């Protein structure tokens, strides 16, 4: 009897989470799709002229900026996170790793506004002084987001590496491989699906981040032609203008949310296919 009650409680909890996500998606699509159908998909997606006061709602520049910032964050966070995970799990003493790993995971709980504040006061002036530009730029946003996704990538990658049986490592060493050859040729390949999952979660964190990006990206609606250019992402655009938006302008912001939702779904689908191919290729 108790097991049946627990089973039903767990099922209700799982379906309630799914229902909440479905309701949010339905609400966003209900508010945004009519605008897209009225304006036209080509005018909305393939125009970069965003001027709500004159009825111009093109988001192409913001789509490109969002993808560029996310790619930059992955270029910073993914290699550092994977290398850090390898060092923690394969080369650091277990007693030390058990202290450092929870400390790294605590970084994920730091509010994004703190990272944004550090970016505004330290990183942006450094970029402006050494590289030029305004400082608040695509480069600054990519670096801040790259640091923000590090805890996610490191934590999941460490768990994936730790799940590899020690017999794999012992077998490689017994065949004459060095420690690094064992890690590179055996451990990493065995844990690659889990590591890729960590990178995907980091990507989701980067593309959905708002506050830190608002503070360090500069928020100019333009195509990024240089890492030093000021940019505005889709999430930043929604957060900056939703408070004062009414009528068609408000519908356009919900339509932006629809596009962001679809972009994230496409990226997750591509990543899911990549993970399945990696697993089959083992």
Classify 50 as helix, strand or coil: strand
Confidence of residue 281 (pLDDT cuts 50, 70, 90): low
Q: Residue 282 has what pLDDT?
A: 52
Classify 56 as helix, strand or coil: strand
Structural domains for the chain: 29-280 (1.10.3720.10)
Query: 45: closest CA among 57, 33, 28, 55?
Result: 57
How far, in Å, CA of 148 to CA of 143, rounded?
Answer: 9
pTM of the model as a whole: 0.86
Q: Residue 274 has what pLDDT?
A: 66
* pLDDT tens figures, 33-46: 888 888 888 888 88
Least trusted range by pLDDT, from 48-57, 236-245, 268-277: 268-277
* pLDDT tens figures, 113-128: 999 999 999 999 999 9
């Amino acid at each position: 009897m108790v097991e049946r009650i627990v089973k039903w409680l767990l099922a209700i909890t799982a379906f309630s989470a799914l229902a909440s996500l479905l309701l949010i998606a339905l609400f966003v699509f209900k508010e945004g799709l009519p605008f897209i159908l009225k304006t036209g998909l080509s005018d909305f997606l393939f125009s970069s002229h965003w001027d709500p006061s004159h009825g111009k709602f093109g988001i192409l520049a913001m789509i490109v900026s969002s993808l560029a910032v996310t790619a930059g964050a992955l270029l910073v966070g993914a290699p550092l996170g994977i290398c850090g995970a390898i060092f923690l799990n394969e080369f650091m003493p277990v007693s030390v790793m058990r202290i450092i790993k929870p400390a790294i995971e605590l970084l994920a709980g730091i509010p994004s506004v703190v990272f944004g504040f550090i970016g505004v006061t330290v990183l942006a002036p450094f970029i402006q002084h050494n590289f030029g530009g305004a400082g608040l730029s695509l480069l600054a946003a990519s670096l801040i987001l790259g640091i923000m996704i590090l805890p996610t990538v490191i934590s999941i990658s460490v768990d994936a590496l730790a799940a590899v049986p020690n017999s794999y490592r012992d077998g490689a060493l017994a065949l004459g491989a060095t420690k690094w050859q064992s890690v590179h040729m055996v451990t990493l390949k065995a844990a690659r699906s889990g590591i890729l999952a960590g990178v995907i979660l980091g990507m989701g964190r980067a593309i959905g981040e708002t506050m830190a990006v608002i503070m360090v990206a500069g928020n100019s609606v333009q195509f990024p032609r240089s890492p030093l250019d000021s940019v505005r992402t889709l999430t930043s655009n929604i957060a900056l203008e939703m408070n004062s938006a009414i009528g068609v302008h408000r519908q356009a912001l919900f339509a932006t949310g629809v596009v962001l939702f679809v972009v994230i779904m496409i990226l997750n689908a591509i990543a899911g296919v990549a993970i399945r191919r990696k697993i089959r290729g083992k």
